[in-house]
Structure 1
């Protein structure tokens, strides 16, 4: 640690533990005995740096203190399409709700400082989510505040749709959290056509009186052109498609053949029978395995990982670019790799029958699955065969004779691998690990990116073999370096919030299930017990998804905080250095530690690097996950556009006051808006998580099978709308759980449809009349409001109790035009219903509505939506692995 870094740490510690009031510069310099002019200037400079990053705050009387002692918080602003937002902090405290009008010129994603209003107690925000399926008693409880300062802008480039007005225009951001349109003045439109997708650079950020301004730097094209949709996502999340020339040049200098010098100090394992097992289209093969039986009856398991650190040196241009990217990103039709292909698909890829440098973790495992001893060593291997999950499944599960004959020499190896994997899994499950066994959902696309099919796939023994081997290697490496006391990057998954667990238990009780031990602390085994109990039931996927969302998100940390989902005391990511930066950093630490104890200065340097890399990699992982989900959702919506008017079977996966979320058998989810349920007025029964008809007492309950017709699919809002065709309902309810004979409601639904057509025609005439009255009365919206009402009636999106009431309020002027057709509900954790976009420059308003739900990932648990350390991520074209996403 340098002298300046030490002073920084001491100053923050002093303000935290010893300062009982905000202090002046003189009081601080006296406390630290700063006397010389040079030291004084350095101290004042340090204070200024800490102030700029938000680590300290300077009062109006030029006194310094820590933000939390001044009722201030620092975090990232996450805005919602309705104009409000939340400051997300890293201190584990509740998020801070920021009302509309209190943004202080901040935009979504900015690092901000906010002042807590009132006494800082939790309160429910008026736009709190969680009112629908899986709503919790504590959902929507936040501290409330106002933003007083923007510390760091998240980005100066935004992608969106350009609307031209003569020689100027506006860009409506594709990111619905960016609630203000960007004014593009005359001379800065780059001759973009009206309606085209563009990239705009912000030149003036919003203030209290005016919106943001910018100039167009790239015209992507018409939104309906092939590939523009995914390219829009790439630009929206600022994903680096191309490598800088300097990085490509450095990669070209790396030789593709090994020399004798490369093999010095490595264990030669080229004589072992070692294989890779990946998806059919995988190109970056970064792990290989071998298993053999020892004389004492135990097993030797070898996990061999590409030694990327041998080629990517710390501080090199390739290393800096890999750090910036943090992870490879697997979009529906392309891969954005962390490393140049010369490395990822060539010299670092463990291709068959060629010598490759690796780091190996070789373990002795007994019949109970315990790791009795291990060795972590640099090595050189030559893989015997490049296997696929399909072929291994054919050998072990299907007993396909043609495949078994082709790989006859390896069949005994795969049988041993199966045996060891099952032993390891049994041990892991006995200690209480949670395993969310979700199917993998994959959108298949053609060569121009058009979706051709949506397939679901279950994990087989082939995927589980690799999953279990990677898990045990990650745990073994993490425990080794924990006891060594070296700086390290751990993969941590903290215990869930007890409030959320209590809410989850209450919700599960409605279905007749219960979490054990909720009163004090939940053990992961309690969650797995429920997963075992619901297996095979129709509510299994819905409840599993809710349980996953109730846990914290796994992240990287320099501190070993354990892994709740895996029930592991020590865990890391060691097995994928080609596509994850933390793994690459860990490999460097391993190599240095094997050479001898770290020197004091180097150890401190590594601790600083590890802390920064953990934070950066966690952030980049979340960006990658968001981009991957959005691309999948885009292609699902596009796929369903070709099936409008067709009927599908599905289950009710969410119940809200504005309608029913339906999940089809192919994994696609959409909404039956309450306006389509025209046979009755429906109210939400939160206890039973059901919509109940006031007159007919007809019940729509979570998990109910239904048949729906695709009414519409909108790529801009990422929404799919269904109409009910038929409903398999339960005749009676007992204790909130269904019990009775299933009745097929086909005839009732047909009558509903005929009645709906008559009601819509009547309402269309009423809307038109009210629109004209509104025009004559001079209400805002005028003609456009009437036309919107007519259009809604034609499309069938206004009707039913709630739709009619919302429409009437808008016509009376009680509500702004363009609001969400999902009403005032912000949606559950996986749905974001958007109301009017905020007023942009020029006073324009847009109404957008979204209601998407992210699909969960499969594999052993470890925190929501985070790539598995053992179960490897599903890969896209050009480098995709077939293994499911494991939320670890």
Structure 2
């Protein structure tokens, strides 16, 4: 096939630069094809070269020469119980989609080698696809789940004790069969299975193992949460060596420990926390100066004084990375003797602290700061509830706390100044609802309410943010090694999708997707303020963001619009904060030498990476627990009706969030009045014949149809759709109508999923599993 001169020149240019990719306007600039006529010719030539497979388009819409070698990637596989998955292989690139049948024998969390088999044009809204070729490293050596025992006949014929219904992101087709070599657990108990034979390419759905631990019966109080901890490999007990070291730490301060510290015990210092909090790691003080400035003191428990580097407590804290907050319990990073004892800033007790004292002007700018070691004696242990009431004018409480009422008023003033400063510089403000699941003494959920955030909660947040920024800026300017909390520029492709999505609400995102400023995003959110769509659009924007992480490079914090940011204020529950305190100790003693800075920097890289992983593990465990408890809460509400909001639209249905934050699925196959097409660009479902539209933010009435505690899934049935204004979607509806009129087709049916082994197994676990049940159990090899 002969190419035109322009097509040949473009191809040669791209082939000479095989490692780069270009936007259309960059290629036009290179060839000086920037006029309207010439630009059209260039676009036509690029389209032709792509069609004949001479060049390819990246997921972000850029052009590059077609690669002649097989493209492979190594990354972390994230599985799904529907049989597909994703591979996270490059922080700068979207995840690779692994379709069903291409997963091989990979399990969730495995490090895999994969071949990229398809680059999809970004106009389709889909990313690149890959095929798993090889397992580089297995993530799990054990599986947690419910044991279902075989009867004697089945045990004799198969050689297995029974099977386990696994918890976690495993394919529904996976069979986990239990060898007789380990423990002999009770039927329907939650167990830990030590894996002996992993799935293979020949048998990707078969796994065998032996029971290493019996956690308890699935219906026993607390076993469900304990199972989640084991599922995520979160230790629930401290090693004996750690407890012994903690026990040896005195609960009173030695006078020698105060030497060299600034004594603040006579200053008016308070703590503000939740009523149930026991690990009080931050205290605050405030003085309004004659010139109108504020002197804010943020005093943080000096955990690093007690947790010395490479000690057993330190090693265990690093391994855990963070405390984990589940519905009915806290799994602490440090033993309670420290977290609730000598490190907790209890009232009327001398405590060692690291202080960050800031002078802040009326614009919220820190004009001076001082970072030092201190000793304090907190005067009041305040709760958010009481502080909010005092600020709202509760006369009885203002009299009871007359000594600090004026200071609290000034703290409120300063909070609004700092909040305004952050808004002016473009910080994003996400006010998405947070659920508080209330449980009884047996851990059973009895209510789900919105967690309230008053001025008291927000002022503490403002003061902690100010301290974190000040600490970060101080040591960045000195160019001394530090661990940072960073939030990077959003991924271009995700931001482009979000920009397209919000056009459905009549909002145009100003700015370029690859360099969008947080202030421009906030302006878009402000346009939807006080509308039914504000909350769900905020949630979609949040999903378009990068994950915040820890690193030893000062990349800044996009969401806060901050150039400098670290975590300094919670060393009891976060290891990076503890590390920051340790560095402050070093830097207050002496200026580090070049060699010392190199050594510190080398350690921080691994600590930051591990801390990010442990944080993600904790978040996943917390989400799993919330999903479990929400399913338990809704179990006795099957058949009841609730109002809710469409929170997400997918190719297989739409998720509805109830006003109490519980989320459930209305499957596409349940929408029987039409054949619904999924429009990914606008995230809507549209009926091909009726032009009915289901969209994010739409209010509906549902009936709870099914609840599965094992799967943490809730299914809804649509009862009624409330009127909504779809004028902004008229062009989409019109295109759909024209498409329907042009095509004559046989009636279509929405897809229905085939019942999986996991679903059959669950049915068996609820009844008996005697001979005659129609699912195959393979025999154990002798």
TM-score by length of 2: 0.81
Q: Would the alpha carbon gap of residues 367 and 81 (structure 1) be closer, same or farther in structure 2, given more than 3 Å must change? A: same
Q: Matches of residues 101-500 of structure 1 in structure 2 within 5 Å?
A: 105-112=105-112, 114-117=113-116, 122-123=119-120, 137=123, 139-142=125-128, 144-150=130-136, 152-165=137-150, 166-167=154-155, 168=160, 169-177=162-170, 180-188=174-182, 190-210=183-203, 211-397=206-392, 399-500=393-494
Change in 2 beyond 3 A, CA 1:321/1:819: closer
CA distance in 2, matches of 1:583, 1:686: 41
Mapped to 2, the partners of 1:519 and 1:87 lie a distance apart of: 24
Distance across 2 between alignment mates of 1:671 and 1:104: 28
What's the CA shift string for 1:576-604, capped at 9, x where partnerless?
A: 00000000011000000011122444333
Deviations 1:380-430 (A, max 9, x none): 011110111111100112x11121111111110001101111111111110
Q: Do 1:293 and 1:299's aligned partners in 2 also have CA atoms closer than 8 Å?
A: yes
Deviations 1:515-535 (A, max 9, x none): 111255100001111222212
SS at 2:128 equivalent? strand
The residue aligned with 2:639 is 645
Match status 1:734 vs 2:722: no
* Whole-angstrom CA distance in 2 between matches of 1:589 and 1:541: 40
1:300-326, Cα deviation, whole Å (9 max, x unpaired):
000000000000000000000000000
Q: Deviations over 1:465-503 (max 9, x none)?
A: 101000010000001111122211100111011221111
Change (3 A) 1:138 1:625: farther
Alignment equivalent of 2:610, drawn from 598, 616, 633 = 616
* Distance of 1:701 and 1:650 partners within structure 2: 13
Aligned partners of 2:645 and 2:657 also within 8 Å: yes
- Assess if the C-alpha contact under 8 Å between 2:72 and 2:116 holds in 1: no
Aligned to 1:832: none
Q: Residues 217 and 567 of structure 1: is their aligned pair in 2 closer, same or farther, counting only changes over 3 Å? A: same
Q: Which runs of 5+ in 1 are unaligned?
A: 1-19, 21-68, 125-135, 739-799, 811-815, 822-838, 845-888
- The equivalent residue for 2:699 is 705
Contact map agreement 2:102 2:130 (CA 8 A) in 1: no
Aligned-residue offset at 1:650? 1.3
> What SS does the corresponding residue of 1:271 show, helix, strand or coil?
coil
Which structure 2 segments of 5+ residues have no match? 1-18, 20-68, 732-746, 761-774
Partner residue in 2 for 1:80: 80
Task: Decide whether the 8 Å contact of 2:174 with 2:757 is kept in 1.
Answer: no
| Distance (whole Å) between structure 1 residues aligned to residue 98 and residue 532 of structure 2 | 39
What is the CA distance between 1:647 and its match in structure 2? Answer: 1.9
Seen in structure 2, the aligned counterparts of structure 1 residues 737 and 297 have a Cα distance that, compared at 3 Å, is farther
Q: 1:103 to 1:841 in 2, by over 3 A?
A: farther
| Aligned residue in 1 for 2:671 | 677
In structure 2, C-alpha distance between the alignment counterparts of 1:84 and 1:698, rounded to whole Å: 30
**Could you say if the C-alpha distance between residues 450 and 532 of structure 1 is closer, same or farther in structure 2, counting changes exceeding 3 Å?**
same
The separation in 1 between residues aligned to 2:510 and 2:642, in whole angstroms, is 38
Deviation at 1:613, TM superposition (A): 0.6
Is the Cα contact below 8 Å between 1:180 and 1:840 reproduced in 2? no
In 2, Cα distance between the equivalents of 1:486 and 1:716? 50
Cα displacement (A) at 1:235: 1.0
Q: Is the 8 A contact 2:700 2:718 kept in 1?
A: yes
Deviations 1:357-383 (A, max 9, x none): 000000011111110010000000111
Residue 439 (structure 1) shift? 2.7
Q: Please give the secondary structure, in 2, of the residue aligned with 1:158.
A: strand
For the residue of structure 2 that corresponds to 1:473, the secondary structure is helix
Seen in structure 2, the aligned counterparts of structure 1 residues 841 and 274 have a Cα distance that, compared at 3 Å, is: farther
- SS of residue matched to 1:226: coil
SS of aligned partner of 1:74: strand
Contact persistence 2:262–2:373 (CA under 8 A) = yes
Rounded Cα–Cα distance in structure 1 between residues aligned with 2:352 and 2:631: 44
**How big is the shift at 1:667?**
0.9
Which one of 683, 691, 699 corresponds to residue 685 of structure 2? Answer: 691
CA contact (8 A) 1:212 1:841 kept: no
Q: How many residue pairs are counted as aligned between the two chains?
A: 673
CA 1:542–1:576: 2 relative to 1, 3 Å: same
For 2:132 and 2:507, how far apart are their aligned partners in 1? 41
The corresponding residue for 2:576 is 582
Structure 1 residues 634-643 or 616-625, which shifts more? Answer: 634-643
Deviation at 1:148, TM superposition (A): 3.1
Kept after mapping to 2: 8 A contact 1:273/1:383? yes
Distance in 2 separating the partners of 1:623 and 1:536: 35
RMSD: 2.7
Give the drift of 1:608. Answer: 1.7
Which has the larger displacement, 204-213 or 223-232? 204-213
Alignment CA distance shift 1:462-1:725 (3 Å): same
* In 1: Cα distance, 2:300 partner to 2:124 partner: 44
Instruction: Give the structure 1 partner of residue 16 of structure 2.
Output: none
Name which of 588, 598, 604 aligns with 1:594: 588
- TM-superposed deviation, 1:685: 4.7
Q: Residue by residue, what CA displacement relative to the aligned partner does 1:336-365 show, whole Å, maximum 9, x if unpaired?
A: 000000000010000001110000000011
In structure 2, relative to structure 1, the CA distance for the partners of 1:93 and 1:689 (3 Å cut) is: closer
Question: In structure 2, which of residues 662, 669, 681 is the aligned counterpart of residue 668 of structure 1?
Answer: 662
Residues 519 and 496 of structure 1, relative CA distance in 2, 3 Å threshold: closer
Tell me the CA shift for residue 686 of structure 1.
Answer: 4.7
Alpha-carbon deviation of 1:696?
4.5
Give the 3 Å change call, closer, same or farther, for CA 336–139 of structure 1 in structure 2.
farther
Contact 2:390 2:398 in 1 (8 A): yes
Judge which range, 218-227 or 477-486, deviates more.
Answer: 218-227
Distance 2:685 2:134 in 1: 43
Q: Deviations over 1:626-654 (max 9, x none)?
A: 00011011111111112222221212222
What SS does the corresponding residue of 2:723 show, helix, strand or coil?
Answer: strand
SS class of match (2:134): strand
Offset of residue 103 of structure 1:
5.4
Contact 1:512 1:737 in 2 (8 A): no
Task: Quote the Cα distance in structure 2 between the aligned partners of 1:436 and 1:723.
Answer: 30
Paired position in structure 1 for 2:742: none
Q: Provide, for residues 840-883 of structure 1, a one-character-per-residue CA deviation record: whole Å limited to 9, x for no partner.
A: 98399xxxxxxxxxxxxxxxxxxxxxxxxxxxxxxxxxxxxxxx
Q: 2:705, 2:82 → 1: CA distance?
A: 25
CA distance in 2, matches of 1:255, 1:736: 67
